[in-house]
Structure 1
Amino acid sequence: MSNLTKEDVFQSIISVENKCARINNNVNIYGTFAEIGAGQETVRHFFRAPNPKGTIAKTLSAYDKDFSDAIYGLEPQHRYVTEARLRSMLEYEAGLIEKRISRKKHPDKLFFCFANTVATIDWAKKYKGHGWLGIKFQKEPKQEYSEIILHVQLHENSAAHQQLSLGIMGANLIYAAFYQSENPKELIKTLYDHLSSDKIEIDSINFKGPVFENVDNRLMSLQLVKDGITEAVMFSPEGNNILPANRLYKKNILTLRGSFRPVTYLNIDMFVNARKKFFEQPAVDPDNTVIIFEMTINNLKGEGEINEKDFLDRADLLCASGQTVMISSFQEYYKVVEYFSQLTKAELGLVMGVDNLQDIFNEKYYRNLSGGILEAFGKMFFKNLKVYLYPVLNEETGEITNSKNLKVHPRLKELYKFFMDNGKVIDLEDYRIENLKIHPRKVYEMILDGDETWESMVPSLSANMIKEKGMFKKEEAK
């Protein structure tokens, strides 16, 4: 296996035609296709494969909005490329096939309904295109439906190419639902058979139903970032996957990055002080603001591979405290800012400690950029961004370091002074001195060692959860 080339691996992947043929030749798989906005690209593959009548009960494209509303109901906000529209399509079509195809006549049928609602790139190439795809399906006759729903960003520069990619992914999804659903992580990879994330990017995916009863969708989100399919995923305080583009569109965003292993009073002090300062900005409306606790893949890896239980422990603690969580592949802060600036033109805030700001002014992190640190800072600070800086305490000397006495390399002093003079760095001054003495890494080590001193450094809600659920055990940390 080690001698296989990429071409060998590609050739070993089942062709789209063979996938569709296998579905078509299964006498029990039967369903409907409803595709809006990009033609009927998925069902086209099944028509071209042998024996389409064995699978296709109905296909339609309610392209006209009035027709779509007449079939699937009115959309209150008159938006049609939404998860809500996709779900109404799937529910309607699943109910219809159950109503029109007799179970008495076809007791062994495995029904499915596939749907997508998509907007491809516009003629001016101003809007790149995106869409929702989903399938409701049965693995056993009369079984409650399981479902897979995903959102995609379309990156190709022509509508025709986007349609082709969409059709391939749709066919892959239907095949995976029936033949590859035992391992959802591997299923995600098979959605890219004969595709790449450069063409079509999955940035949200959710599994539901009896086939996936043991699936935690947060782990599926993590897998998207881990596999390099998308750069960032989010989930709500309720623990549900949410689409970043929907949650952050035109919002003010305040972000605190950390490992949160676990959340300590230091993290809470940073968050509370930064939020207060952020809300004091004239352009910031608290009701139009999203606060994000961000973890990077590097935060999660620690010294080795990502431990899923450890990840879920951290996520549970953050969600229980009412936070929106983001997992990203952004190692550098300027990439976080770039990502957010694609979704909003409103105010942005980054909360960080002095040591993080010192790292930002370290030129070694920008050697991959032709413009070096100046290019990175241009990307980071030309937007409506402010850094909210939490001080650090030297416990031996008692000295507190903030933006005013922070030392940077002599070559970068003028650059640092420029951002200070322009109000881009704001000191957090209402901190609690005792919280400056908390070191999250040491708190984690205390938990591992059974040193109960850690409980005084962690909010009571988190401390109780850690003890009750046995979080951060030694064997999990290996």
Structure 2
Amino acid sequence: MAVTLKGDQKLNTVPTTKTKALKINLNAHIYGTFAEIGAGQETVRNFFRAGGASGTIAKAMSAYDKDFSDAIYGIEDDGRYVTEERLKKMLRHEMELIEERLNRQKHPEKLFFSYANTVATINFSKKFKGHGWVGIKFQLDPLEDYNEIILHLRFKETDARAQQETLGILGVNLIYGAYYLNDNPKELLKSFYDNIDKDKLEIDMINFSGPRFMYVDNRLMSLQLVKNGMTNAVMFGPDGNNLLPAQVLYKKNILALRGSFRPVTKVNMNMYQEAKNLFFSENKVDPKSTQVIFEITLSNLRAEGEINERDFLDRAELLCSLGQNVMITNYQEYYRLVEYFSEFTKERMALAMGVYNLIQIFDEKYYRHVSGGILEAFGKLFYKDLKVYMYPYKDNETGKFITSKNLKVHPRMKELYKFFKNNGRLVDIETYDPNVLHIFSRNVLKMIKEGTTGWQEMLPTGIADMIERKRLFGYARKKTTKK
């Protein structure tokens, strides 16, 4: 029997944490368990305090001792406790217990749920602010399979008690949103910050799964995290599922390529391949411990005004089909991107870019908001032997190839440019393919939309077929003569 739940998303005022918890408690259908590790039982506490909890809470527990936790949920291969895999085991184990212990014939209309979190709050020295995994496994119909929402958070507060309280509010928001906002995942996402200031908490990964979220693209949910200011960077893999950047980048060598990839062209892939070869030839760079990132900035996605979600997914679809990890960031300046990477690794880093992007790096106008100007930005950008691999540009008027040797920068930047060039920080990609330098994504995109033939040869193998088959980037069925 299906149970219809209606939320308060239409109200102008945000319901309080107590109001949300009480509404859940007073719903005769919702029933489940709470398992919280590492920060006390902060979420379930809100439900106890709201009143009427006996109709909602089947069990609340905190296997705080590691031996007890291992006895209940098993031992992780890496010996860690604050991980996504640990959270999934907790959700799975608690849900199996519900199904085993509660007779479905006795509770035909109950919507079972299992809420769990595994968290490490700020340490005593306050050098590590803490992070955690939070999730819910829940039903929206007694005869339907379970849905799941899993997210990762990073604490910003510097007080353990404040972090615990914030976690408790987030947990209530998650459970409430799962039942009352599930038909609008974007609003559900925003509701996580109900009664929480954004400077208290960062959510940098989320994944939706289950029958009610069958049509939710998790890459789009990642985009929403950055767009809503919940985090500055998100990542997803070739399978389209979101990844935790901290986990993927931890102690890795990193090679990043920034672009619009609208669409990804032979130039992009030639730059990627040749930059990768150069990076792997660097001292201490082991290919097995290297992560290559295709990065798109939020400002690039907003280049034509409001973000076009369909256009974003088209770009993501093609990059994922090529087996690449994609990152969306709010770091327009390269030095901020490098600072972000440095949070997770001390290993080698490199950036691959074309001439136009390199000229922007040496443009002072991009550093007016930095107290130390371009010198401070460059100190952050190049402080760890970072290399920039420069892909050449062909001047159609002169036929010359523009490289670091003949690139012209602003007169005030000449000496700074020479310093980094002469110190080996700027490296030319000399093994480029001259036959693809005439290709520009913007021209390819225009040809696709206008139905002009000839663009197919400008793209990597299989990409043109995918664009035509899935009608990406406004692909026009009707073709005109080649221009």
What is the Cα deviation at residue 180 of structure 1? Answer: 1.1
Residue 473 of structure 1 is matched in structure 2 by 474
2:422 partner letter: D
For residues 315-363 of structure 1, what are the alpha-carbon distances to aligned partners after superposition, in whole Å with 9 as ceiling and x for unaligned? 1111111111111111111111111011110011100111111111110
Residue 284 of structure 1 is matched in structure 2 by 285
Cα distance in 2 for residues equivalent to 1:10 and 1:141 = 28
C-alpha contact 2:335 2:377 (8 A) present in aligned 1: yes
Q: Which runs of 4+ in 1 moved over 4 A?
A: none
C-alpha contact 2:385 2:425 (8 A) present in aligned 1: no
Cα distance in 2 for residues equivalent to 1:266 and 1:140 = 50
2:271 counterpart of 1:270:
yes
- Please give the secondary structure, in 1, of the residue aligned with 2:198: coil
2:87 partner letter: L
Cα distance in 2 for residues equivalent to 1:443 and 1:184 = 34
Residue 415 of structure 2 is matched in structure 1 by 414
2:49 counterpart of 1:48:
yes
Residue 63 of structure 1 is matched in structure 2 by 64
2:246 counterpart of 1:245:
yes
> What are the residue-to-residue correspondences of 1:172-321 with 2, within 5 Å?
172-321=173-322
2:270 partner letter: D
Residue 364 of structure 1 is matched in structure 2 by 365
2:115 partner letter: F
C-alpha contact 2:251 2:346 (8 A) present in aligned 1: yes
C-alpha contact 1:341 1:383 (8 A) present in aligned 2: no
For residues 6-40 of structure 1, what are the alpha-carbon distances to aligned partners after superposition, in whole Å with 9 as ceiling and x for unaligned? xxx99921010111111111111111000000000
2:436 counterpart of 1:440:
no
For residues 355-378 of structure 1, what are the alpha-carbon distances to aligned partners after superposition, in whole Å with 9 as ceiling and x for unaligned? 111111110111111111111111
Cα distance in 1 for residues equivalent to 2:109 and 2:441 = 57
1:411 partner letter: R
1:256 partner letter: L
Residue 151 of structure 1 is matched in structure 2 by 152
Cα distance in 2 for residues equivalent to 1:182 and 1:315 = 24
Instruction: Please list every run of 5 or more consecutive structure 1 residues that lacks an aligned counterpart in the other structure.
Output: 1-8
What is the Cα deviation at residue 46 of structure 1? Answer: 0.4
What is the Cα deviation at residue 155 of structure 1? Answer: 0.8
For residues 93-127 of structure 1, what are the alpha-carbon distances to aligned partners after superposition, in whole Å with 9 as ceiling and x for unaligned? 00101111111111111111100000001001121
Cα distance in 2 for residues equivalent to 1:182 and 1:387 = 45
Cα distance in 1 for residues equivalent to 2:285 and 2:56 = 54
Residue 331 of structure 1 is matched in structure 2 by 332
- Please give the secondary structure, in 1, of the residue aligned with 2:473: coil
Structure 1 residues 10 and 138: CA distance shift in structure 2, 3 A? closer
C-alpha contact 2:113 2:136 (8 A) present in aligned 1: yes
2:287 partner letter: P
C-alpha contact 1:387 1:426 (8 A) present in aligned 2: yes
C-alpha contact 1:346 1:384 (8 A) present in aligned 2: no
C-alpha contact 1:225 1:231 (8 A) present in aligned 2: yes
C-alpha contact 1:110 1:142 (8 A) present in aligned 2: no
- Please give the secondary structure, in 2, of the residue aligned with 1:70: helix
**How many pairs does the alignment contain?**
467
Structure 1 residues 153 and 10: CA distance shift in structure 2, 3 A? farther
Residue 14 of structure 2 is matched in structure 1 by 13
- Please give the secondary structure, in 2, of the residue aligned with 1:311: helix
2:64 partner letter: Y
C-alpha contact 1:319 1:325 (8 A) present in aligned 2: yes
C-alpha contact 1:369 1:375 (8 A) present in aligned 2: yes
Cα distance in 2 for residues equivalent to 1:197 and 1:63 = 28
What is the Cα deviation at residue 142 of structure 1? Answer: 3.4
For residues 120-160 of structure 1, what are the alpha-carbon distances to aligned partners after superposition, in whole Å with 9 as ceiling and x for unaligned? 01001121100000001111223211111000001100111
2:302 partner letter: K
C-alpha contact 2:115 2:175 (8 A) present in aligned 1: yes
- Please give the secondary structure, in 1, of the residue aligned with 2:36: strand
C-alpha contact 1:150 1:205 (8 A) present in aligned 2: yes
- Please give the secondary structure, in 2, of the residue aligned with 1:253: strand
What is the Cα deviation at residue 212 of structure 1? Answer: 1.1
For residues 53-102 of structure 1, what are the alpha-carbon distances to aligned partners after superposition, in whole Å with 9 as ceiling and x for unaligned? 11111000001111011101111111000000000000000010111111
What is the Cα deviation at residue 52 of structure 1? Answer: 1.1
- Please give the secondary structure, in 2, of the residue aligned with 1:472: helix
Cα distance in 2 for residues equivalent to 1:199 and 1:459 = 44
C-alpha contact 2:25 2:51 (8 A) present in aligned 1: yes
Residue 378 of structure 1 is matched in structure 2 by 379
What is the Cα deviation at residue 474 of structure 1? Answer: 6.4
C-alpha contact 2:467 2:475 (8 A) present in aligned 1: no
Cα distance in 2 for residues equivalent to 1:217 and 1:194 = 25
Cα distance in 1 for residues equivalent to 2:28 and 2:433 = 69
**RMSD of aligned C-alpha atoms?**
1.4
Moved more, 410-419 or 215-224: 410-419
C-alpha contact 1:391 1:400 (8 A) present in aligned 2: yes
For residues 380-411 of structure 1, what are the alpha-carbon distances to aligned partners after superposition, in whole Å with 9 as ceiling and x for unaligned? 11123110001111111111111111111111
Instruction: Please list every run of 5 or more consecutive structure 2 residues that lacks an aligned counterpart in the other structure.
Output: 1-9, 477-483
1:430 partner letter: T
2:262 partner letter: R
2:173 partner letter: N
- Please give the secondary structure, in 2, of the residue aligned with 1:17: helix
Residue 7 of structure 2 is matched in structure 1 by none
Residue 168 of structure 2 is matched in structure 1 by 167
Residue 28 of structure 2 is matched in structure 1 by 27
Cα distance in 2 for residues equivalent to 1:208 and 1:456 = 37
Cα distance in 2 for residues equivalent to 1:142 and 1:474 = 41
What TM-score comes out, normalization by structure 1 length?
0.96
What TM-score comes out, normalization by structure 2 length?
0.95
Residue 323 of structure 2 is matched in structure 1 by 322
What is the Cα deviation at residue 440 of structure 1? Answer: 1.5
Residue 6 of structure 1 is matched in structure 2 by none
- Please give the secondary structure, in 2, of the residue aligned with 1:350: strand
Cα distance in 2 for residues equivalent to 1:136 and 1:406 = 56
Cα distance in 2 for residues equivalent to 1:369 and 1:66 = 49
What is the Cα deviation at residue 302 of structure 1? Answer: 3.0
2:169 partner letter: I
Cα distance in 2 for residues equivalent to 1:142 and 1:450 = 48
2:389 partner letter: Y
1:185 partner letter: K
1:391 partner letter: P
Residue 5 of structure 1 is matched in structure 2 by none
